[in-house]
Structure 1
Amino acid sequence: MARNLTTRKPWQKKKAGLLPLGLALVSFSTLADTPPFSLDSPWLLGDWGGYRQKLADDGVDFQVGYTMQSAANLAGGYRTATTMRYADQWTFGSTLDLDKLLNWQGGTFQATITNRSGENLTSHINDPRTGGLSNVQGISARGDYLRLTQFWLNQSLFNNWLDVKLGRVTTNEDFDTAKLGMFQNWAMGSGQPGHWRNDRWFNAPISQWGGRVKLNLPEDLYLQVGIYNQNKVNNTKANGFRFDMRHGEGNLVPMELGWQPKLGADKLQGNYRLGGYYSSTSGGNYSSWHDGKYGKTDHAYGGYLLAEQRLTATGGDNTRGLGINFQYIMNDHRTSKLDNYQSLALTWAGPFDARPKDEIGIGMARIHVNHDYAKMRNEQNQGKGVSDYHDMSYMPLQKGSEWNYEVYYNVKATRWLSIRPNLQLITKPGGVDQVQDAFVGGIAGDITF
Structure 2
Amino acid sequence: MKYKSMLCALSLLTFSPLSAAQEWSGTVLGFESPPDPVLGDMYGLRKLLNDNGFTYNLGYLNEIGWNGGGGYNHASHVAYIDQFALTFNQDLSRWTNIPDARIEANIVNRNHNDDLTTRRVQDPRVNVNDLTQESWGGQSITRLGWLTFARSFDDRRMTWRIGMMNKVQTFDQIIPCDFQMLSQCGGKSANSLTWNNWNVHTWGTTLEYRLTPVVTLKGGVMEQNPDAASRHHAWSGSTRRSKGVLLPVEIEARPIINGLPGAYNLGVVFTNAPQTDLYRGRSGGAGASDPGGYEKHNRTGFLYAGLNQQLTRHQDDASRGLSTSFSMSLADQRTNYMHSVYAASLRYRGLFDARPEDWIGFGLTWTDMSNQYARNQRYMNTISGISDYNDAAYHPVPGHSLNGEFYYRFRPVSWLELQPGLQYWHRPAGISHTQDAWVTELKTVVTF
Which residue of structure 1 lines up, in the alignment, with residue 178 of structure 2?
182
Kindly state the Cα deviation for residue 77 of structure 1 after the two structures are TM-superposed.
0.3
What residue in structure 1 maps to residue 189 of structure 2?
193
After TM superposition, the structure 1 = structure 2 runs for residues 32-43 of structure 1, keeping only pairs within 5 Å, are 42-43=36-37
Q: TM-score, normalised by structure 1?
A: 0.87
**Equivalent pair of 1:62/1:94 in contact (CA under 8 Å):** yes
Cross-structure match for 2:106: 112
Matches within 5 A, 1:8-87: 42-87=36-81
Residue 434 of structure 2 is matched in structure 1 by 435
With the length of structure 2 as denominator, give the TM-score of the two structures: 0.87
- Correspondence 1:252 to 2:249: no
1:232 aligns with 2:226: yes
Q: CA RMSD in A?
A: 1.9
Deviations 1:192-225 (A, max 9, x none): 221x332x12111111111211111114111111
Q: Please report how far the alpha carbon of residue 178 of structure 1 lies from its aligned counterpart in structure 2 after TM superposition.
A: 3.0
Q: The residue matched to 2:144 in structure 1 has which SS?
A: strand
* Separation of aligned partners in 2, 1:115 and 1:302: 30
What is the CA–CA distance in structure 2 between the aligned matches of 1:180 and 1:213, rounded to whole Å? 22
- Give the match for residue 137 of structure 2: 141
Contact 1:292 1:380 in 2 (8 A): no
Greater displacement, 339-348 / 204-213: 204-213
2:273 is aligned with 1:277: no
Cα-to-partner distance string for 1:160-216 (whole Å, 9 max, x where unaligned)? 12111111111133212233461000111214221x332x12111111111211111
Alpha-carbon spacing, 1:249–1:300, altered in 2? closer, same or farther (3 Å): same
* Separation in structure 1 between the aligned mates of residue 95 and residue 319 of structure 2, nearest angstrom: 32
Give yes or no for the alignment of 1:241 onto 2:235: yes
**Cα distance 1:233–1:41, how it changes in 2: closer, same or farther (>3 A)?**
closer
CA separation of 1:41/1:85 partners in 2, compared to 1, >3 Å: closer, same or farther?
closer
User: Alpha-carbon deviation of 1:273?
Assistant: 0.3
Output the CA distance in 2 between the equivalents of 1:41 and 1:435. Answer: 42
Matching residue of 2:409: 410
Unaligned segments of structure 2, at least 5 residues: 1-33
Give the conservation status (yes or no) of the 8 Å contact 2:189–2:304. Answer: yes
How far is the alpha carbon of 1:285 from its aligned partner?
2.3
Aligned match of 1:173: 169
The 1-side partners of 2:175 and 2:130 are apart by 20
In structure 2, do the counterparts of structure 1 residues 406 and 326 end up closer, same or farther at CA, with 3 Å as the change threshold? Answer: same
Partner of residue 390, structure 1: 390
Match of 2:19 in 1: none
Residue by residue, what CA displacement relative to the aligned partner does 1:211-266 show, whole Å, maximum 9, x if unpaired?
Answer: 2111111141111112210112221112200111121111111100110113334x
Percent identical pairs in the alignment equals 27
SS in 1 for 2:372: helix
Question: Do structure 1's residue 129 and structure 2's residue 128 form an aligned pair?
Answer: no
- What SS class does the counterpart of residue 109 from structure 2 fall into? strand
What is the identity, as a one-letter code, of the residue corresponding to 2:150?
N
The SS at the match of 1:175 is coil
1:434, 1:288 → 2: CA distance?
26
Gap regions ≥5 residues in structure 1: 1-39
Between the aligned partners of 1:205 and 1:168, the Cα distance in structure 2 is 11
Report the residue type matching 1:197 in the other structure.
Answer: S
| Number of aligned residues | 406
Q: CA–CA distance in 2 between the matches of 1:404 and 1:41? A: 31
Counterpart-to-counterpart distance in 1, 2:153 and 2:421: 44
Change in CA separation of 1:229 and 1:180 when aligned onto 2, cut-off 3 Å: closer
Contact conserved, 2:204 with 2:223, CA < 8 A, in 1?
Answer: yes
Residues in 2 aligned to 1:433 and 1:233: alpha-carbon distance in whole angstroms: 33
Q: Per the alignment, in what secondary structure is the counterpart of residue 272 of structure 2?
A: strand
Equivalent in 195, 203, 210 of residue 204 of structure 2: 210
**What's the CA shift string for 1:249-289, capped at 9, x where partnerless?**
11111100110113334xx3211001111111112223524
Give 1:98 deviation, angstroms.
Answer: 1.9
Aligned-partner residue type, residue 356 of structure 2: P
> 1:83/1:345 Cα in 2 relative to 1: closer, same or farther (>3 Å)?
same
Give the equivalent residue in structure 1 for 2:25.
Answer: none
CA distance in 1 between partners of 2:91 and 2:316 (Å): 32
User: Counterpart in 2 of 1:17?
Assistant: none
Deviates more, 1:167-176 or 1:206-215: 167-176
Measure the CA separation in 2 of the matches of 1:269 and 1:100: 34
1:381 alignment partner, SS class: helix
Partner deviation per Cα, 1:70-123 (whole Å, 9 max, x = no partner): 000000001112211000111122211223454431112111110111211011
Matches of 1:174 and 1:61, distance apart in 2:
19
Please say if residues 35 and 447 of structure 2, whose CA atoms lie closer than 8 Å, have aligned partners that are also in contact.
no
In the alignment, residue 263 of structure 2 is paired with which amino acid?
N
Change (3 A) 1:312 1:170: same
* 8 Å CA contact retained: 2:254, 2:262: yes
